[in-house]
């Protein structure tokens, strides 16, 4: 985990990919380290995670091409599976994840951002799936997730052309939630994370699960998942005290996650 920095502020975790000399490109050791760290975060007390890259130039400039170049087909398939498993772990983390994209998010960087729940981009952010220019398709779920947020035609266009998308266009196609000045990106991410963390943890977890499990699922089936998780929240003390406070016209106490 030499290239990963992790700190906690209140109920918010901040995970920084720290390999600026390589524009924070992902190698296999970093993928393994991220996966292990996410396992620890999943059982911690934090309620929201911010993911960003060190330095002002790059969020993550893809996977490490030098490490990939000489892989044989079997090794390349294994590398893709490892990357996909990391993206799935990030996507299914029981807390919301905010990507604070500060510069280049190319290839694996775009895929990493797409696996997060919310994406905030600095004005200098650039997204791209450039893999076709290297003789390969995106290997960490980029086409699939981009199709879900921007539509399949746009996902095909960007992957097939390898065109780069700047922050303003990324906002217009739904790839990011907001665009911020570079100097204000982390402040905005922290404000959003703290707002999320101030809400009832069981409800926040349920909302993320409902959203994730609704993709590609018939509405009736998705609504049953919603009803089950809705009901589960009525077994929590947070629900009871918050609703009582509402009825008593009082401010609810801080949520405990119990």
Active site amino acids: 111, 131
> Rounded to whole angstroms, what are the CA distances from 223 to 29, 95, 187?
40, 21, 35
Handedness of CA 64, 66, 72, 75 (dihedral sign): negative
Q: Which residues pair with 94 in a beta bridge?
A: none
* Whole-angstrom distance, CA of residue 116 vs CA of residue 252: 30
**What distance in Å separates the CA atoms of residue 151 and residue 126, rounded to the nearest whole number?**
19
Strand partners, 16: 5, 52
Largest CA distance in the chain: 67
For 133, which DSSP code? G
């Amino acid at each position: 985990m030499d290239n990963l920095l992790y700190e906690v502020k209140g109920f918010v975790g901040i995970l920084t990919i720290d390999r600026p000399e390589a524009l924070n490109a992902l190698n296999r050791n970093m993928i393994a380290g991220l996966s292990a760290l996410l396992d620890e975060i999943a059982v911690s007390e934090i309620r929201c995670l911010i993911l960003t890259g060190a330095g002002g130039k790059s969020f993550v400039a893809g996977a490490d091409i030098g490490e990939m170049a000489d892989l044989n087909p079997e090794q390349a398939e294994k590398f893709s599976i490892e990357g996909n498993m990391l993206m799935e772990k990030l996507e299914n983390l029981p807390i919301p994840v905010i990507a604070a994209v500060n510069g280049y998010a190319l290839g694996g960087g775009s895929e990493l951002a797409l696996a997060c729940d919310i994406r905030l981009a600095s004005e200098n952010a650039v997204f791209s799936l450039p893999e076709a220019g290297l003789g390969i398709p995106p290997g960490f779920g980029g086409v699939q997730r981009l199709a879900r947020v921007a539509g399949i035609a746009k996902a095909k266009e960007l992957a097939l052309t390898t065109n780069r998308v700047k922050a303003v266009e990324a906002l217009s196609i739904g790839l990011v939630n907001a665009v911020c000045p570079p100097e204000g990106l982390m402040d905005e991410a922290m404000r959003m994370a703290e707002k999320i963390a101030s809400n009832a943890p069981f409800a926040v977890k349920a909302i993320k699960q409902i959203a994730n499990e609704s993709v590609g699922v018939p509405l009736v089936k998705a609504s049953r998942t919603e009803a089950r998780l809705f009901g589960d929240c009525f077994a929590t003390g947070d629900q009871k005290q918050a609703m009582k406070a509402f009825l008593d016209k009082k401010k609810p106490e801080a949520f405990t996650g119990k």
